[in-house]
Structure 1
Amino acid sequence: MDLRTALTTHRMLAIVRGSDPEAALRTVLTLVDEGIALVEVSLTGADALTVIERARKTLGAGPPLGAGTVLTADDARAAHRAGADFAVTPALGEGVRTATELGMPVLAGVLTPTEIATAGALGATALKIFPAAQFGGPGYVKALRGPFPHELLVPVGGVDASAARAYLAAGATAVGVGSPLVGDAADGGDVTALRERARAFRAAVRESTP
């Protein structure tokens, strides 16, 4: 898949991490139904690989589906076997290298300028600025745009709808959104409320798109 184009076009990545595999699957499918085209299933969720497999089977060759919290080479291989289209990592390591070798584009977790440069050398497609809220917020993303004008920066961590607008205005390519969007839906919570939050986030992203 072309992760670079997908992030630039859709400008939001939903992050699903759940304690209930059935609810997590339902959450993924609901987000896609609401028009959120990029979804990541974190490997730290319950039975996450099976959730990815089942979601991929249900969605067919449609919206891209990512595996998140890919730390090790084994994580990358397992995500690839499960049918994930791309990998998301919280940091730099073997997960980045192996996913790239397997042909999976990688949204690699970084924080500092040195890590940004290293991620490029490892073959990362885009950069997950994490944890963004605890490290300068939108102002930090804007500052990174100076030395790294061509990198795809995706802040993750504490991004609500208001913060999404601010990050995109500051020059982020896209935002990664977890609990402010998903809430308790992946643990068996209210799907109707999930749909309402999805619509609110999509509106926030549309408002921030030139």
Structure 2
Amino acid sequence: MDLLTALRTHRIVAIVRGDDADAALRTVLTLAEEHFPLIEVSLSGKDTLDVIRRARAALGSGAPLGAGNVLTAQHAQAVRDAGADFVVTPAVCEAVTEAKRLGLPVLAGVMTPSDIVAAQRLGADAFKIFPAAQAGGPGYLKALHGPFPDAPFVPAGGVDADAASTYLAHGATAVGVGSPLIGDAADGGSLDALRERVRAFRDAVCASASADPTR
């Protein structure tokens, strides 16, 4: 898949992480039904590889499906075999190199300029600023755009709907959103409530198009 084009088009990566594999699968399918197509299933959840396999079978081969918290070469191989077609890492690690070797695009976790340069050298397709809130929020994103004006940044970590709108207005290519969007859906919570949160984040993307980043 063309990860960078998908990030620029959809602007939000939903991060699904839960202790109930069946609920996590239902969450993935609900997000897809709500036309929220960029979905990452985190390896920190329960039975993640099975969730990815079942989601791939249900969604078909054309739907973007990622695996998150991928750290090792073995992780990269396992998620590829399960049906993931992009990889998200929390750091610059061996999974970046292995995923690229396997032909999978990578959203690599970075924090510092040194991390960004290292991830660029390994061939990462985009850069997840993580944890974004602790790194300094939109101000830090703006600062990174100075030395890296063309780098596709995806802030993640503590990104609610308001923060998503602000990051996008300040030049983020996309944002990664976990619990503020997913809530308890991946642990068996209400899918109707998930649908309401999806609408709130969709509104945030629309609002970012007209927001003034200087405010």
Bucket of the pairwise TM-score, normalised by the shorter protein = over 0.9
Residues 1-210 of structure 1 aligned to structure 2 (within 5 Å): 1-209=1-209
2:163 partner amino acid: A
How far is 1:148 from its partner? 0.5
TM-score for both structures, normalised by structure 2: 0.96
SS at match of 1:109: strand
Quote how far apart the aligned CAs of 1:119 are.
0.3
Deviations 1:116-149 (A, max 9, x none): 0110000100000000001100110011111111
Q: In the TM superposition, what is the alpha-carbon distance from 1:206 to its structure 2 partner?
A: 1.9
CA distance in 1 between counterparts of 2:202 and 2:62 reads: 19
TM-score normalised by structure 1 residue count: 0.98
Unaligned regions of 5+ residues in structure 1, if any?
none
CA distance in 2, matches of 1:209, 1:117: 29
Q: What is the deviation of 1:169?
A: 1.0
Number of equivalenced pairs: 210
Q: Distance in 2 between matches of 1:191 and 1:68?
A: 22
C-alpha deviation, 1:63, in angstroms: 2.2
Deviation string 1:51-103 (CA, Å, 9 cap, x unpaired) is 00000000002320000000000000000000101000000111111001000
The superposition leaves residues 25-66 of structure 1 with CA deviations (integer Å, 9 ceiling, x where unpaired) of 000000111111100000111000000000000000232000
- What is the identity, as a one-letter code, of the residue corresponding to 2:70? V
Give, as a single letter, the amino acid of the residue that structure 1 aligns with 2:2. Answer: D
TM-superposed deviation, 1:209: 3.0
SS at match of 1:133: helix
Q: CA deviation at 1:197?
A: 0.2
Per mean C-alpha deviation after superposition, the further-off stretch among 104-113 and 57-66 is 57-66
3-state SS, counterpart of residue 63 of structure 1: coil
* CA distance in structure 2 between the aligned counterparts of 1:169 and 1:202, rounded to whole angstroms: 14
Moved more, 176-185 or 197-206: 197-206
1:13 match: secondary structure: strand
Percentage of pairs with the same residue: 67
Residue identity in the other structure for 1:52: I
Letter of the 2:99 counterpart:
A
For the residue of structure 1 that corresponds to 2:132, the secondary structure is: coil
